[in-house]
Amino acid sequence: MAEAKHEIDRLTDMLNDYAYHYYVLDQPKVSDAEYDMLLKELIALEEANPELKREDSPSERVGGQPLEHFSKVQHDTPMLSLSNAFNEDDLRDFDRRVNQNLGHEATYSCELKIDGLAVTLKYEEGRFVLGATRGDGTTGEDITSNLKTIPSIPLRLKEPVTIEVRGEAFMPKRSFTRLNDAREKNGEALFANPRNAAAGSLRQLDPKIAAKRNLDIYIYSVGSILDRQIPSHHEALEYVNKLGFKTNDQHKHCKNIDEVIDYCNSWLSKRADLPYDIDGIVIKVDSLADQQELGFTAKSPRWATAFKFPAEEVVTTLRDIELSIGRTGVVTPTAILDPVSVAGTTVQRASLHNEDLIREKDIKLGDKVTIKKAGDIIPEVVNVLVEHRTGAERDFSMPTECPSCVSELVRIEGEVALRCVNPKCPAQIVEGLIHFVSRNAMNIDGLGERVIKQLFENELIEDVADLYKLEREELLKLERMGEKSVDNLLKAIDTSKDNSLEKLLFGLGIRYVGSKAAKTLAQHFETIDKLQVANREELEAIDEIGEKMADSIATYFEMPEVTELIEELKDLGVNTSYKGPKPVAVTESSSYLFGKTIVLTGTMEEMSRGDAKTEIEARGGNVTGSVSKKTDLLIAGEKAGSKLTKAQDLNIEVWDEARFLQELEK
Which residues are known to be catalytic? 113
Dist. CA 344–CA 402, nearest whole Å: 35
Q: Is residue 305 within 8 Å of residue 392, measured between CB atoms? A: no
In Å, what is the CA distance from 240 to each residue of 75, 83, 84, 152, 220? 20, 25, 27, 13, 9
Q: Amino acid identity, residue 573?
A: G
CA angle 514, 515, 516 (to 5 degrees): 95
Other C-beta atoms within 10 Å of 665: how many?
Answer: 5
Other C-beta atoms within 10 Å of 133: how many?
Answer: 24
* Phi and psi based region of residue 344 (left: phi greater than 0; alpha: psi -120 to 50; beta: remaining): left
Other C-beta atoms within 10 Å of 361: how many?
Answer: 15
Dist. CA 56–CA 49, nearest whole Å: 16
Report CA torsion sign: 650, 651, 656, 659: negative
Dist. CA 42–CA 51, nearest whole Å: 13
**Residue 166 pairs with which residues in a beta bridge?**
120, 221
Query: For the purposes of burial, counting CB atoms within 10 Å of the CB of 500, is it exposed (0-12), middle (13-18) or buried (19 or more)?
Result: middle
Dist. CA 585–CA 35, nearest whole Å: 64
Query: For the purposes of burial, counting CB atoms within 10 Å of the CB of 6, is it exposed (0-12), middle (13-18) or buried (19 or more)?
Result: exposed
